[in-house]
Amino acid sequence: MTENIPKIQKAVEGADFEALLINSEQNRFYATGFPSSAGELLITGDESVLFIDSRYFEEASAKIKTARVEELKNRQKAYEQMADFLNKKGVKRLAVEMGSMSHSQFLMLDEKLPFELVNGQELISGLRAVKSEEELQLLRNAQAVASKSFLELVPRITRNMSERDVATELFCLMLRNGADDKAFDTISVNAVHSSSPHGHPDGRKLQNGFLTIDFGARVAGYNSDTTRTICIGDPDREMEKVYNIVLAAQLEAMDKARPGMSARDYDGVARKVIADAGYGEYFTHSLSHGLGIDVHERPFSGQGSTDVLQAGNVVSDEPGIYIPGKWGVRIEDCIVIKEGGVENLCDLRKDLWVI
């Protein structure tokens, strides 16, 4: 269990606010290493306190070393205790997670806590984007479970199965191989359905053509995210050509990714390969997102992103070409950005796998 509270305290010390309130599940887990569905964590430069209810209090008190844990008995009283703590610390500006809370939660905090509320989202999402060695190991573990499961899945796929059967089978394999859960609902789209990047698996039997499977395992709170497009029956010449363009784009982006490159430039590397091959209009989503406790987190490579790749980022590399009414191809690995070249978390084969 990794506690990142010391790392966050240091960042709060250098920020233009004196305290940060964390109440989202993911950030609370990142900070404390302790999974819980509720709890209010207050972090200042030199002291942190977690208010948590009786369901978690005993275990949290025993496990969390870097914050004081107080039992939250009554929500109204908790706000008074929080305000007390913040007043004692001389807090004027309190940062909150404006990007993840509901409007009604914000109004409640604004009413109950008499401090200037500012946005603390960037601080914590920026920290989370750079993985520690422990986090990288957790991500490798999640990928290993997913990869092993996929290798066991493919030989089991038959024409008697549906897209949903494929997704269900893969989920069972991931659980048996050590996943706590799937990272997200598996996308399993075959033939004409594969032209929808995030299509929903249905119950009709598999047909000849592409089968795109986008899947992930969650292990110890960290996720994997992988896509492979395989082919049922032999591909025609255009299918083969498009598959190889997507693969070339994917490999080129992986080859060029490095610390200091803007995430949009990284996106542009793959986009150029696909555009130069004449399929630019069919690559309709962004190349990449960060991966960790959330399946989609910073850095993002889409339009409007100002994120810059840094050593320790874990990002997807997932170009695709989707021809409406026909079929589509996506290939996705997640990579660790490092000085002197990336580490690919996924070693599943990428030549077109025909079954």
For Mn ion, which is the closer residue by CB, 78 or 138?
138
3-state class of 295 per DSSP?
A: coil
User: What are the residues binding Mn ion (CB under 5 A)?
Assistant: 225, 316
For Mn ion, which is the closer residue by CB, 225 or 307?
225
For Mn ion, which is the closer residue by CB, 48 or 316?
316
d(CA 27, CA 98): 13
In the complex, what is the shortest distance from the CB of residue 197 to Mn ion, in angstroms, rounded to a whole number?
10
For Mn ion, which is the closer residue by CB, 235 or 320?
320
In the complex, what is the shortest distance from the CB of residue 42 to Mn ion, in angstroms, rounded to a whole number?
33
In the complex, what is the shortest distance from the CB of residue 316 to Mn ion, in angstroms, rounded to a whole number?
4
For Mn ion, which is the closer residue by CB, 18 or 297?
297
Residues 153/169, Cβ–Cβ less than 8 Å: yes
For Mn ion, which is the closer residue by CB, 17 or 283?
283
In the complex, what is the shortest distance from the CB of residue 216 to Mn ion, in angstroms, rounded to a whole number?
8
For Mn ion, which is the closer residue by CB, 225 or 267?
225
Alpha helices in the chain (DSSP H): 5-13, 25-32, 54-63, 75-88, 103-112, 121-129, 133-153, 163-176, 237-256, 263-276
- Residue 269 burial (CB count, 10 A): 19
In the complex, what is the shortest distance from the CB of residue 67 to Mn ion, in angstroms, rounded to a whole number?
32
Number of alpha carbons in the 13 Å side-chain half-sphere of residue 228: 21
d(CA 136, CA 319): 23
Judge if the upstream peptide bond of residue 299 is cis by omega within 30 degrees of 0.
yes
3-state class of 114 per DSSP?
A: coil
Residues 273/252, Cβ–Cβ less than 8 Å: yes
- Residue 275 burial (CB count, 10 A): 15
3-state class of 3 per DSSP?
A: coil
d(CA 219, CA 113): 36
In the complex, what is the shortest distance from the CB of residue 296 to Mn ion, in angstroms, rounded to a whole number?
7
Contacts of 212 (CB under 8 A, 6+ apart): 187, 188, 189, 190, 194, 227, 228, 229, 328, 329, 330
For Mn ion, which is the closer residue by CB, 11 or 270?
270
In the complex, what is the shortest distance from the CB of residue 14 to Mn ion, in angstroms, rounded to a whole number?
32
Strand partners, 215: 226
In the complex, what is the shortest distance from the CB of residue 143 to Mn ion, in angstroms, rounded to a whole number?
12
